[in-house]
């Protein structure tokens, strides 16, 4: 019975979507390992706890979002069958799931280094804060982006014990990437957001203009990645990785039109999964195969 509810909780938070930001966090870790000339055993240990920290933080944040938005989700035809509004899971159990996830995150942060443990509470506050933002600001998409974008910087801190401002370019890239695809996804709720007086860029500017803003966010992402290549002196494989990202983003935007949102899920889930994974593979190949010094 307990395992079934845990499985339902993982289903509720779309556990498989951890793949979106995790490759970017691992890229931040790889850049740090190259700078630190880390031994393999040290690197593997750090990667293990980085993955645990990131997945547990995301799990806590997603579950918190589901609890906070349960009543709103129940009024939205698109989301009314989610686990909490449909009564598949109880609020008490989900709160327990959040508490366990937070505990695992704090353990992982402590295993990484003292600075990570000190920053654990602010990091959780950041990812929890996002859930409130749609109630008062149309910039909620950027707040979500920042919540995911802190992962590469956090991974850098986990490896080095300090922050190098060069890695913030990767944080910015993830922020704009996430904000862009979240704008696309939120176009589905344009009418509902208007009726509920919830804030989003589609509601504020209309779907057509919001899709152009999403394109702008993704263009800014590409600019941040290009700057990241420059500041770390990376090689041609990293540039090829950016090119692959650009092609995927172009395809993503071609899938969605103001008068046809039928392929939003393909744009949101499938394409962005490929973006993050291909990005990591190209950049990891650059650092390992070409042995670029950072």
Average pLDDT, whole number, for the chain?
A: 92
Pick the CATH number of 2-289 from 1.10.10.10, 1.10.3810.10, 1.10.357.140, 2.20.130.10: 1.10.357.140
Listed residue (111, 191, 182) closest to 149, CA to CA? 182
pLDDT digits (tens, 9 = 90+) for 246-261: 999 999 999 999 999 9
Q: How far is residue 275's CA from residue 270's CA, in Å, rounded to a whole number?
A: 9
Listed residue (180, 25, 199) closest to 112, CA to CA? 25
Who contacts 102 (Cβ-Cβ below 8 Å, separation ≥6)?
Answer: 56, 60, 124
Share of the chain above pLDDT 90, in %: 82
In the chain, where do the E strands start and end?
Answer: none
Angle between helix axes 168-186 and 236-255 (nearest 10 degrees) is: 10
Q: How far is residue 84's CA from residue 277's CA, in Å, rounded to a whole number?
A: 31
Residue 290's pLDDT band (cuts 50, 70, 90): low
Residue 293's pLDDT band (cuts 50, 70, 90): very low
Listed residue (25, 51, 32, 17) closest to 280, CA to CA? 25
pLDDT digits (tens, 9 = 90+) for 127-163: 999 999 999 999 999 999 999 999 999 999 999 999 9
Residue 292's pLDDT band (cuts 50, 70, 90): very low
pLDDT at 102 over 60: yes
- The number of residues making up the chain comes to 294
**What is the model's pTM?**
0.94
pLDDT of residue 13: 86
pLDDT digits (tens, 9 = 90+) for 2-15: 788 888 888 888 87
pLDDT at 38 over 90: no
Q: How far is residue 36's CA from residue 59's CA, in Å, rounded to a whole number?
A: 30
Domains of the chain, residue spans: 2-289
Listed residue (107, 98, 113) closest to 42, CA to CA? 113
Residue 58's pLDDT band (cuts 50, 70, 90): very high
Region 217-226 average pLDDT: 98
Residue 125's pLDDT band (cuts 50, 70, 90): very high
Who contacts 168 (Cβ-Cβ below 8 Å, separation ≥6)?
Answer: 153
pLDDT of residue 34: 83
Structure tokens at 239: 């540039």
Answer with the residue of higher pLDDT: 280 or 269. Answer: 280
Answer with the residue of higher pLDDT: 137 or 289. Answer: 137
Region 24-29 average pLDDT: 94
């Amino acid at each position: 019975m307990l395992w079934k509810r845990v499985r339902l909780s993982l289903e509720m938070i779309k556990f498989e979507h951890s793949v979106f930001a995790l490759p970017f966090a691992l890229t931040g870790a790889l850049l740090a390992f190259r700078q630190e000339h880390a031994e393999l055993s040290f690197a593997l240990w750090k990667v293990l706890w980085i993955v645990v920290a990131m997945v547990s933080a995301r799990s806590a944040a997603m579950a918190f979002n589901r609890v906070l938005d349960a009543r709103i989700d129940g009024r939205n035809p698109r989301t009314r069958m989610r686990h909490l509004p449909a009564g598949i899971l109880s609020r008490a159990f989900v709160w327990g799931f959040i508490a366990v996830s937070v505990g695992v995150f704090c353990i992982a942060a402590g295993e990484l280094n003292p600075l990570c443990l000190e920053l654990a509470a602010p990091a959780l506050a950041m990812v929890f804060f996002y859930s409130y933002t749609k109630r008062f600001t149309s910039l909620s998409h950027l707040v979500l982006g920042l919540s995911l974008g802190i992962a590469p910087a956090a991974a850098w801190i986990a490896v080095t014990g300090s922050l190098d401002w060069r890695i913030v370019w990767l944080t910015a890239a993830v922020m704009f990437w996430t904000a862009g695809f979240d704008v696309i996804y939120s176009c589905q709720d344009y009418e509902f957001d208007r009726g509920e007086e919830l804030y989003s860029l589609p509601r504020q500017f209309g779907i057509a203009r919001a899709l152009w803003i999403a394109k702008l966010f993704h263009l800014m992402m590409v600019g941040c990645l290009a700057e990241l290549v420059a500041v770390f002196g990376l090689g041609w494989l990293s540039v090829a990785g950016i090119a692959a990202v650009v092609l995927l983003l172009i395809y993503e935007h071609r899938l969605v039109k103001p008068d046809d949102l039928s392929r939003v899920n393909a744009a949101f889930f499938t394409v962005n999964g490929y973006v993050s994974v291909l990005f990591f593979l190209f950049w990891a190949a650059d650092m390992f195969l070409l042995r670029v010094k950072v």
